[in-house]
Amino acid sequence: MMPTIVIAWVGSGFLESISVARVLVLCNALGFIAYPMGAWLFVTEQLRHSYLAAGLALVAFGALSIALLAPLGFKAFAVGKLGAFITMGVYYTSLLVRHLKLDVGKLLEYYVLPLVLPVLVLISAGILIQSEAGSGEQSGLAAAAVKCCILAIAASGVL
Average pLDDT across each block of 10 residues of the chain; the chain has 159 residues. List them in order.
64 71 73 78 86 92 93 88 88 86 82 77 71 58 65 60
pLDDT at 159: 47
pLDDT at 68: 92
Of the candidates 101, 117, 136, which is a domain's last residue? 101
Q: How many domains does the chain have?
A: 2
Domain encompassing residue 131: 104-159
- Specify whether 74 is located in the same domain as 8: yes
- Specify whether 76 is located in the same domain as 2: yes
pLDDT at 2: 59
- Specify whether 146 is located in the same domain as 118: yes
b/e per residue, 85-120, with b = 16+ CB within 10 A?
A: bbbbbebbbebeeeeeeeeeeeeeeeeeeeeeeeee
pTM of this structure: 0.65
Which of 132, 127, 154, 131 shows the shortest CA–CA distance to 143? 132
Q: How far apart are CA 8 and CA 2, in angstroms?
A: 10
Helices (H) then strands (E): counts for the chain: 7, 0
DSSP 8-class letter at 13: G
